[in-house]
Structure 1
């Protein structure tokens, strides 16, 4: 049976974990019927995932946070981008939030326009469809 016998550097390990959250979103959206595209390079465009229903395209940014509470304030790093949706996953819990793009420089994660989900496909898609 395969076993990983090498050590993974901590920075690399964090990148692997963060990418795994992006892969979850890709999988869930594909299972929901979306066309999903992954940019070869998203440096400067702040787009991790591009989705389409055919005629329409939407840019998605996926972020992970070490959640201390759901009312923690997040900084808007997407003002100059064309991102439509930001998805936050709590690395140390089983919840996340789906945020439509917003203009303010800061906003609480649990703002009334943000959609909280439990980290599973059914709950994620239920909240994603509410955007």
Structure 2
């Protein structure tokens, strides 16, 4: 069995963990029958996952939160994207919940705002929430 012998810096590990949520989301969407992919190159477009229902393409940004508390405000990190983001999916790294929300225009917004859908971190609950956005 392979054993990693090089130490990881804390920032590198955090970066890897954040990317793991993008790939997990991608797997959930593919297993749910959606056309989903990661852009080969993302030069400032802020698209982590793109998904299609066969007719329309949706651009999704994935964000990780290092808190178990969902009573927080989240910051708009996509405001300068050249093409609008459709949805943002937040995952808690310290609890088993996430939120799907339409990309908003302001600087900050409460995670629990109207129209934001909470899901438990499992594929069935996520897909049920995603298909009701």
TM-score (structure 2 length as normaliser): 0.91
Q: Distance in 2 between matches of 1:34 and 1:95?
A: 22
Equivalent of 2:96 in 82, 85, 94 = 94
Q: Distance in 2 between matches of 1:54 and 1:115?
A: 23
RMSD (Å), alpha carbons: 1.4
Equivalent of 1:122 in 106, 121, 124 = 124
Q: Distance in 1 between matches of 2:54 and 2:125?
A: 24
TM-score (structure 1 length as normaliser): 0.92
**Cα drift, residue 66 of structure 1:** 1.2
Q: Distance in 2 between matches of 1:11 and 1:79?
A: 24
Uncovered stretches (5+) of structure 1, i.e. residues with no partner = none
* Number of aligned residues: 131
Structure 1: 4+ residue segments shifted above 6 A = none
Q: Distance in 1 between matches of 2:88 and 2:103?
A: 7
Cα offsets for 1:69-124 (capped at 9, x unmatched): 21211122223431001000011111111111222322101112101011000111
Q: How does 1:76-87 map to 2 (within 5 A)?
A: 76-81=76-81, 82-87=84-89
The aligned residue for residue 10 of structure 1 is 10
Q: How does 1:48-87 map to 2 (within 5 A)?
A: 48-67=48-67, 69-81=69-81, 82-87=84-89
Q: Secondary structure at the match of 1:24?
A: helix
Q: Secondary structure at the match of 1:50?
A: strand
Q: Distance in 2 between matches of 1:80 and 1:6?
A: 37
Q: Distance in 2 between matches of 1:12 and 1:76?
A: 23
Verify: 1:35 aligned to 2:35, yes or no. yes
